[in-house]
């Protein structure tokens, strides 16, 4: 089919539509990068937690509180299993796998549980629903 050159109002309207469509496409790209940024922050939290975990447990033992209770006390949506997931993103190899897999799945926004699934080595991958119950050691 021969391409037509639009003029007048039709050209302006087509141009506006093309601009809006491009903005929508860019939002999708930014969503991936924003999602990666969120997981990068989760990774930083996981690293901080891992570096201080032994001392944390000692301090909690001294006041008679469990690690699970401590994590829940951090606020809504926090739990020990969430913290363990964050820690699973810390190793460089896991983080690299996550980035590669996440960019390949360029649509949508994914949660931490799915990020850990993407970061898991292929030979030991479980479905996302199982990754919450049995975090792999790093």
- pTM of the predicted model as reported, rounded to 2 decimal places: 0.68
Task: Give ∠ CA 69-74-77 in degrees, rounded to 5.
Answer: 95
- Give me the tens of pLDDT residue by residue for the chain, a chain 138 residues long: 566 787 888 888 878 888 877 776 666 567 888 889 999 999 999 999 999 999 999 999 999 999 999 999 998 888 999 999 999 999 999 999 999 999 888 776 678 888 999 999 864 444 444 333 334 443
- Burial class for 67, CB neighbours closer than 10 Å (0-12, 13-18, 19+): middle
The alpha-helical segments, DSSP class H, found in the chain are 8-63, 67-73, 80-88, 92-104, 112-119, 128-131
Residue 120 DSSP symbol: S
- Extents of the domains making up the chain: 8-131
């Amino acid at each position: 089919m021969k391409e037509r050159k639009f003029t007048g109002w039709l050209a302006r309207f087509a141009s506006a539509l093309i601009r809006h469509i491009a903005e929508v496409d860019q939002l999708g790209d930014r969503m991936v990068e924003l999602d990666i940024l969120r997981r990068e922050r989760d990774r930083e939290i996981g690293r901080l937690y891992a570096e201080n975990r032994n001392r944390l447990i000692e301090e909690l033992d001294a006041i008679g509180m469990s690690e699970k209770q401590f994590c829940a006390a951090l606020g809504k949506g926090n739990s020990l299993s969430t913290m363990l997931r964050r820690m699973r993103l810390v190793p460089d190899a896991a983080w690299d796998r996550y980035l590669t897999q996440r960019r390949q799945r360029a649509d949508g926004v994914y949660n931490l549980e799915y990020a850990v699934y993407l970061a898991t080595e292929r030979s030991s991958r479980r479905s996302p629903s199982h990754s919450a119950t049995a975090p792999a050691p790093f």
